[in-house]
Every structure is written in structure tokens, then in C-alpha cells.
Amino acid sequence: MLDAIKVTEHLHWAEKDRAKKCVLSVMEKTVSPSQVYVDHWSSSSLKIPFSSSLVFPQKEEDKEGKRLKHSRYRQFKRAQRIVSTSAHRDVRPLLLIRSGNQGYGDISQSQLLHYSWPANNITILGSHVDLSPRPGNQPNRASQPRVRLPQLAKSSSDGENSMKKLCILTAIKPSNVESEKAKFFKSDFRYNPQFEYSNPASPQVLEKYSKASDCFLTQAVRIMELALYKYGSYEKFEQATGGSLLTKGRIRAHTKKYMEKEGCVGEIVVHLTDDLLSRASMTVVNGRPTLTINVSTAREQWLEGLLRHEIGTHYFRSINNSQQPWSSGDGRKKLGLKPVNPTEEGLASIHSVLFRRDPRLWRAALLYYTVHQAAHMSFAQLFHDLARFVHDPDTRWDYCVRAKRGQTDTSQPGCFNKDQVYLDGILKILRHREKIDFQLLTALGKVSYEDVERLRSLAVMENVRIPHFLQDLERYAEQLQKIMAVNQLTDEELQVLV
């Protein structure tokens, strides 16, 4: 009941009320210390956010030690000693707060400090709350309470409401993919799927994402042809640069190790699935930041890049954004901020290939090319066209579904153009790489690289989080130059295009 509760702050009582003071909260369920923390207090109210269960729990021996240390008997005996001796010395009783599974709540000071525990005749008659932490007893970085978690579904959106973005991606996901795939393969790849949707997107939404660009088509094709020239096929490129597919156990182990490196263990739920069109996604599920990883594409040499993409970029920029003046839609409009994309996905895509031995921009190039072709072809035509770059029918099917999602009759030309944002953002960032302050770009949150300098003086820089791979900017710049060279991109070319 009272075991394993984290001690937070001291209460300072008025001199006349020190006779019998103790704040206790009876808990129905045992929680770990990491599940309880105080966000911030004011003189009038306490706002107490609670985290739910951790992804990677503590070791059993650690839990047992805390149970012995904070047993109900020892807590009660200590409370008796406080009551009996408080009249003779300056007592600083402890605040024990509620368990982490109770969600957010506002408790007024009068409510908190005017309770009694009839069974033991302990009364609370408190005064004010002292916010100063105990000197010399600061928790280390790994155990510090984090800032209030943002709506991470915004991480791969264009800065609009996260629920709206989630609804769009849900609305354009066909509900009969497997049955249509069976028909398509049975027809020797000639049938054009007729997709159905449980809650279809409106025509206005589909129209917004229906226009494909050809601005970087030449660069996309060249990037893929260079890879084919070196490796012979996409499948050989994937095996040579990505390595073997990982088991679920190894994916979890690698993910935990990465989170330890970034100091965010316990903040993110990790979900593994094979039912995902993308390789991974960062969203909010049941109030928790959730990283979903597609196990069918998780390769040994690529997983670190995937984690830099989703956690080091999307998650950290969302965390940092939540404390900025432009964290709300109204704040963005007031400051006239540009859309976060293509910067958001471009930056994350660069981080996907950062530090790879051969940082080909293959995936971003293929997505860009596929969308462009889908706008002018039927599903079956697109599938056969992609054989130029991808031999495996299952892989081609996935790319075609991504480009054609939202359509019902795929015999007609048409596309969902969001996937062009990756290469678009990459090339724009590389074009201006020598002028961009990448640490500040991350610290400011969900902003375009074009807005960084004018927001510098308005930024709240306390508690911002910068991923480990951005600490050494000299090495980071070298990696950007390597990406340019491997993909045969030149500054002269990009200056003309961007």
C-alpha cells in the first residue's frame, strides 16, 4: 500500500500547527518510484501528472529492496515518531502522493492539507508548500522527471492537429488490403484493386494530397540507378547495407540500449507489429508516446537509423516544442510560422542514414518516384513500372499501396502525395546545411529551418533535449557531406533546384 512510493518535496508548516503533522495518502495499488512524480506546484494548487507503467521495468532485486525500505510497518512507525517528537523539534514531514495509474488531476491546497486519518488520529492542518528542493540531493539526469509529454502524433505531420492527422492516415488505409492482394497476385499482377475504407476520407482531403511534384524526379532516379549500378538490385543493396532481419527480442534490446543512450528509458512504449505500411511510426496511444516498429523491415544495420528518425528527431522535437510559445496552433498563426514539413521529415530521413557505411537515399528516392508515377498510372501499371528498381513482388505491392491509398478504383491515375515530403525535405536541408544551426533547429521543436533565426530570441531553452548524435557538430557536418558525395549531389545543382 505505502511501499515503493517516491519521496518528492518537503512541506513547511506554520509554527502554531506543528503539534501533529503528517501527510499520508492511502494507495490501493503498489507502484514503482518511477511511476510517481511532481510536475510543478503553485501556491494555490498542485498539478500532478503521473506516468504509467514503464516499458523496461526495474530488476526484481531493486524492487525488493524498495519494498523492504518502504514497508507499511516502517512507514507507520516513522509517522508515529514524527507525531510524538514534533513538539520538540523542527519537523519537516514527507509528502506521499497518489499512484501513477490515476492520470492527471488538480488538487487544491486546501483539499490536500485538511485531511485526517481517523483510525490513527493523525490530522493534517497544513500551511504552505515550499518548492525549494533539498540541497545536494538532486536526482541524476536519468531519474529526473521529464517535461509533460506532448502530442507526439504531430511528429510526422505538417503541424496540424494530431487527431486530425491520425484520422487522415486511418481514413486512407484500405480495410480489405489482404483480400485485394490475393486477387492481384492471382491475376498475374493485372488486376487493379478495388479498395474499401471503414471511414473514408472526404473528397476535399483527398484532393489536398492528390498533386504530385516532379521537381526532384531526376535526382530520385539517379540516386536509385547509382545503387543498382553498385549492387545489381535493390534486394542485394538491402542485404549488403541493411544486414539480417532482427528477431523481436533483439529489436527490443537494441531499442532499450538506444533509449539509455538518449536518457529516455520508460518514457516510450514500444510496440512491434508486421501490420504497418511504414517501417515505424511515433504516435500517442492511450495517452502514452508509442513507437511502433515493423518487424518485417527491421534490419540489423538500419535499426539505429530508424531510432534516430523516430526518437532522436520526431520525439525530441515534439518534447522541445511543447514548452515553446508556438506549441499551439494559435501560437503558430500569431508568429506566422511556416509548415513544419518538409523540414520535419527531411531532417528525420537524413538521420536515418547518418553514420551508415553507405548512406544511400534509396527509400526517400523510391517513395518520391512512386508517388509521381502513381499520379499518371493505374495500380497494375505502377506495379510493373517499379520492377525497374524492385524485383520482389511483395515489396513492390507495399510501395504501390502507399502511393494509391485513399483511392477506391485504382484503375484510375491518382496518388496520395505525402511520401514525396522525405526527399523534398532532405534536399532542401542539404542545400542550406552550412547555414542551419541544427542543434537550435532541434531545440526549437516543430519549426521549419527557414524560421530558426527569427525564433532564436523567443525560444525557451531550459530543459531542451538534444540527441547524442547532434553533440559533435563537426562530425555531423562531415556526415552530411558524405551523404552528398555518395548520392552524387552537388551544391551547384541544389542551388538551381531549391
| Cell of residue 43, nine digits | 501556491
**Cβ neighbours for 251, distance < 8 A, ≥ 6 positions apart:** 272, 293, 295, 298, 303
To the query of whether residue 310 is one of the catalytic residues in this protein, the response is yes
Neighbours of 141 (CB within 10 A): 7
For residue 37, which phi and psi values (nearest 5 degrees)?
Answer: -160, 160
| Cell of residue 50, nine digits | 503521473
CA distance 109 to 13: 13
Neighbours of 86 (CB within 10 A): 19
| Cell of residue 448, nine digits | 521549419
| Cell of residue 408, nine digits | 477506391
* Candidate list 180, 262, 310, 345, residue with the active-site label: 310
* Amino acid at residue number 364: A
Strand partners, 283: 290
* Amino acid at residue number 418: K
Any idea what DSSP says for residue 312? Answer: I
> 3-class DSSP state for residue 315?
helix
Q: Is the dihedral of CA 480, 481, 482, 488 positive or negative?
A: positive
- Closest Cα to residue 297, out of 278, 316, 317, 269? 278
Neighbours of 62 (CB within 10 A): 12
Strand partners, 46: 41, 107
Instruction: Dump strand ranges (E) for 76-191.
Output: 105-108, 116-117, 122-123, 128-129
Contact (CB, 8 A) for 196 and 174: yes
Q: Which residues are catalytic?
A: 310
